[in-house]
Chains A and B, each alone.
Chain A
Amino acid sequence: MIGIRDYKKAASLEEAYQLNQKRGNRLLGGMLWLKLSRNSVQTVIDISGLGLDKIEETGEGLRLGAMVTLRQLELDEKLVTYGGGAFREAVGRIVGVQFRNLATLGGSIYGRFGFSDVLTLFLALDATVCLYKRGRVPLRDYAALPYDRDIITHLLLPKAAPLAVAYRSARLTETDFPLLTCGCAVRSDALNIAVGARPGRALLLSGLEKYAGRKLKDEEIEEIAAHAAATVPTGSNTRGSAAYRTHLVQVLCARALRACFRKEDGCGADADS
Chain B
Amino acid sequence: MKLLLLATLNGITLAALYFIVASGFTLIFGMMRVVNLAHGSLYLIGAYIGHDVAALSGSFPLALAGGAIGAALVGMAIHYFLLDRYQGDDLRQALVTIGLSIIAADLLLARYGGLSYQFELPEMFYGSMPLPIVGGYPIFRIVLIGLAIAVYLALWLLVQRTRFGIMIRAGVDDRHMLGAIGVNVPLISTLVFGLGAALVGFAGVVGSSALSIAPGEDARYLLSSLVVVIVGGMGSLPGAAIGALLVGLAEQIGLAYFPTYSIILSFVIMVAVLAWRPYGLLGRPA
Q: Determine if chain A interacts with chain B.
A: no
Chain B positions within 8 Å of A, measured between CB atoms, are: none
